[in-house]
Every structure is written in structure tokens, then in C-alpha cells.
Amino acid sequence: MRTAVGIWGLLLLAMPGCGPEDPVDAVVNLPDMVTYADHIAPLIGAHCMPCHSPGHAGPFALTTYAEVRRKARTVGHVTRERFMPPWPADTAYSRFLGERVLTAAQIALLGKWVEQGMPPGDTASLRTMPPVREFAGLGPPDLVVPVPGAFTVPGDGRDRFIITKAPFELPRDTFLRAVAFVPGDRRLVHHMNGALINYPEGAKADVFAGSAFLDAEQQGGPTAFAQLGLANDDGSWPPLVPSAVNYLPGLDPLVLPDGLGGLHLARKGAFLLNTVHYGPSDREAVDRSSFHLWFAPRAPERPLQELALGSTHTPVVPPLHLSPGEVRTFSTRLPVPKAISVLSVNPHMHLLGTRFTAYALRGADTIPLVRIKDWDFRWQYAYTFGRPVILRPGDIIVAEGTFDNRAENPHQPFDPPQEVRGSDSRFMRTTDEMFQFFLTYVDHLAGDEDVKLGGSGE
């Protein structure tokens, strides 16, 4: 296994150079004098502070002129190379809520400010940057479900990928309006992908039994599922809602308009954290994470549903198999069974994935869904559209994924590369390979294409 280095270390190690075609070079009409107060502070506040604030995920704060000046050359470099702010999806292909993408003009503005010596401008006129507010508009959670125990991250500079669960027992069945994963230490947790398990009444006596933390790089599949104690008491598997809750630094949970979406929450259940990525740390640290739940007063009119393609769900063509040194593209497809309004999409591959594209076919027309030109397992998002994407019965959803099993792949987990095959296991080790695509949707109603899913209707 190759030893992983910190995210910022990766960014500064192997950066492609910008050629003359870079649109940043073509930007004109910048201000004669670029100052922090007039130009840079608003940009940093909107695009950087959600992560780079005290107590949040960024490795350093960018909340004051002094802090930004200290890191200005690094910020200028990683924004010019499009490594920061992180947003893997190609905005030239499809658009989503909460896009963290700088325009060429904004990147050029940062560069000119650095070139001019980072002048502060009238910083006395700046309002004090308010602390980053999470879960705006939701209020205090109705319930906090802790991940049992604490996970210790050794200070050895390695990434950790963990499987665990957060069980709960309620007085009665209820309904969820929103759910958020809250890391105990935001500097440690890089991302989390979670599912919701609802146990049928009488199927599970003790939802709290089972192992606490499993190493996803060593344990996976039904064995890990069993060790966590997730099966019903008769050995059968309970209903599971994949991708019910995901976490990436700075992204709030989606709150949908009234009557749209929502989840049923059984009296007994658990959140299955099928990937918790702890980033490298140079010191031993302890994380105690939890889930914040906001209940809905009634059952959703149109509950969230999901379509799943790829590994475990639909045939992958050709079968997912990579020989050492091989680069290969695979595809999978699924006919749309009924009229649906797609709210979000979630691509998923592991360490060997390099490119992902998904779209829908309607006769001779192509409906773009998502494209990621440079896949990175460590930056996995669930992408929410500004307005629902309407798919009709008979449309064909297609996902295409490219994998690179060469030694030159910087995310190659084996040295030398090994033969890799796909598996039908529901949960796998990180070093195994998967190719999946999830779509979250509600049943279509006329007018859905005009519904704004975000507050700004992006």
C-alpha cells in the first residue's frame, strides 16, 4: 500500500502547467489596483471561508487579511491550477447547487493582487467576518445520534477509511426532514458516505450490538456487514436506503421545498457509515462524530426514491476487470421505468477511477447529468441540481467510467499493480474497485421543472 500524503501536499507535488490557452491569461479590464478590502475579502469569504475557518476542515484559517496574506501565494497557485476550491464536476457539462468554482476573472484577480504585493486597502472599513453558520434555517436538531465510541487517528500521516454505524431507538416511527453528519473533529474527517437502515418492527432486538469500527481497506462485503451486527435477528438483511446522508466539508444538508422529498425513519434503525475518510494527521487525535436529525410533522407527499446503476445493481459492460498496466472504460445503463424528477446524482468509483460521465438518452437527444474529468476518490460529492431534471419512461440512463491500473496512477493502491475484478458485494474494501451511479428522485408532477431546490434557485 502506498502511503498517502496530505491533501495540500498532493496539490503542490504534481500540478500540470497552464498553457497559453488558459482563459485566465485572456482576462482583461481588471482594476488597476487590486486590494484585499475591495476585491479579495469578498471572494475569500464566499469561496474559501466555509472550510478555512477556525474549527472547520481547512488546514489553516483564511478569515483575516493577515491570514490570507500569509498564504496568498499558495492560494494563488492552487486556484490557478483549479485544485481549489474543490469541485470535481465539470460545470461546462451540467450545473448544480453550491458550486465552488472560481471564474477566470476571479482567478486573475487573485493573481494580480499577489503580483502587486498583496495591498490591504482600507481594511478598517471591512465588516468583521461573521462565523461560518451551519444548518442555516433548520434550527436546533430534534435528535442527535452519536457514533458509539471514539475513533483514534494515529499521527502517522496516513489516510484511514473506516466503516462504522450509528444506531438509534425511538419511541415510534417518524419522518425525516433533514439529516446532517457532524464530525467531532473537522480537521480529521475528509468525507463520509452514509446509508439509512430501517429495521422492521420486531426484526431486531438490540440495534446497538456489534463491532464499533472496521478498517475498510482490510474488511468489506457481507463479512463487515455481519461484524457490525447489522443483520436482522433471523440473519436476513434489513431495508437500506443508500446515500441517505453524505458529508464533505462546507456543504450543508439539502432542505427541500415542502411536500418534496423526506425519509421514513423506523423506530429502530442505524446510519451505516460505509466510508468515513480520515485524512492524514501528524498527531494522534480522537474523533467523536454524530448525526443531527430534523423531523417532519407528517409523511412526505412524495418521498425520496433512488435508482442505482453499476456494481451490484446493473450489468457493467464489459465486466469490471483490470489487468496490471491496463486503462479501460466501462459502461452501465438502466431504462427509466416511469416519469421521475431527478434531484441529485452521486457517482462512485474507488482509487483506480480516473473519469466519470453520466447522461440520459431520449431518442437522438442526450440529457447531461454529470461529468468528472479527473476523478479523485477523496473528493466524492452528491450533486444536487438547481431544478429537477425530468426523465420520462423509456429514457436510458447511461454511466461511463474509466479506470487506470498502471503504476503511474498516483492513486494506485498496489505496488506493483495487481489484477482487479469487480464484485457483487454490497460493501467492499477501499482497495477493491467499484463503478456505481445513484440518482435520487421523486415521482414526477407537472411543473417540477420549475421548482427551485435551493434557496437561490441556482
Number of neighbours of residue 136 by Cβ within 10 angstroms: 10
Specify whether 311 is located in the same domain as 287.
no
For residues 116 and 184, state if they share a domain: no
Comparison of pLDDT for 343 and 244, the residue scoring more: 343
Look at residue 48 and tell me if it is in a domain: yes
Examine residue 134 and state whether it is found in any structural domain, yes or no. no
| Angstrom distance (rounded) from CA 362 to CA 360 | 7
Residues 102 and 153 in one domain: no
Q: For residue 455, is it within any domain? A: no
Give the model confidence (pLDDT) of 417-451 as tens digits. 999 887 654 445 667 788 999 999 999 999 999 99
Model pLDDT, residue 262: 83
Write the pLDDT tens digit of every residue in 219-261.
Answer: 766 778 888 999 999 999 998 887 788 887 767 777 778 778 8
**Same domain? 285 vs 311:** no
Domain shared by 356 and 419, yes or no: yes
Type of residue at 386 = G
What's the Cα-to-Cα distance from 207 to each of 214, 267, 337, rounded to whole Å? Answer: 17, 11, 35
Beta bridge partners of 285: 153
pLDDT at 12: 35
- What is the pTM for the complete model shown? 0.79
Q: What integer pLDDT is reported at residue 128 of this predicted model?
A: 66
Average model confidence (pLDDT) across the chain: 86
| Whether residue 330 is found in the same domain as residue 203 | no
Give yes or no: residues 148 and 292 share one domain: yes
Number of domain units in the chain: 3
**Could you give the CA distance from residue 23 to residue 397 in angstroms, rounded to a whole number?**
33
Hey, what's the cell of 212? Answer: 464499533
CATH number at residue 198: 2.60.120
Kindly state the percentage of the chain with pLDDT values over 70: 89
Any idea which of 6-10, 189-193, 393-397 has the lowest mean pLDDT?
6-10
User: Is pLDDT at 46 greater than 70 in this prediction?
Assistant: yes
Mean pLDDT, range 361-378, rounded to an integer: 94
pLDDT band at 13 (very low <50, low <70, confident <90, very high): very low
Both 197 and 81 in a single domain? no
- Domain check: are 194 and 108 in the same one? no
Q: What is the pLDDT of residues 85-123, one digit of tens each?
A: 888 999 999 999 888 888 888 999 999 899 999 998 888
pLDDT at 360 over 60: yes
Identify whether 457 is part of a domain. Answer: no
Give the C-alpha distances (Å, rounded to integers) separating 268 from 202, 208, 245: 9, 10, 17
136 pLDDT band, cuts 50/70/90, is low
Same domain, 282 and 332: no
Q: Which of 125, 151, 178 is the last residue of a domain?
A: 125
- In this predicted structure, what is the pLDDT of residue 231? 93
Domain-ending residue, one of 97, 125, 153? 125
Q: For residue 62, what are the domain limits? A: 7-125
Residue 63 CA: distances (Å) to CA of 66, 67, 83, 287: 8, 7, 20, 25
pLDDT exceeds cutoff 80 at 14: no
Q: Give domain status of residue 100, yes or no.
A: yes
Do strands 353-362 and 396-404 pair parallel, antiparallel, or not at all (unpaired)?
Answer: antiparallel
112 alpha carbon, distance to own chain's centre: 32
Question: What phi, psi does 441 have (nearest 5°)?
Answer: -150, 170
- 340, pLDDT greater than 90: yes
Q: Is residue 1 one of the residues assigned to a domain?
A: no
User: What is the structure's pLDDT at 134?
Assistant: 67
> Which own/partner pairs from 136-141 qualify as long-range (CB within 8 Å, at least 24 positions apart)?
136/252, 137/255, 137/455, 138/178, 138/253, 138/255, 138/294, 139/294, 141/180, 141/292, 141/293, 141/294
- What CATH number corresponds to the domain at position 438? 2.60.120.230
Decide if 380 is inside a domain.
yes
Choose the final residue of a domain: 296, 321, 348: 296
Handedness of CA 98, 99, 100, 104 (dihedral sign): negative
Is 138 part of a structural domain of the chain? no
Is 20 a residue whose pLDDT tops 70?
no
Could you tell me if 177 and 114 lie in one domain? no
In sequence order, the β-bridge partners of residue 164 are 213, 273
Which DSSP letter does residue 450 get?
G
Residues 218 and 324 in one domain: no
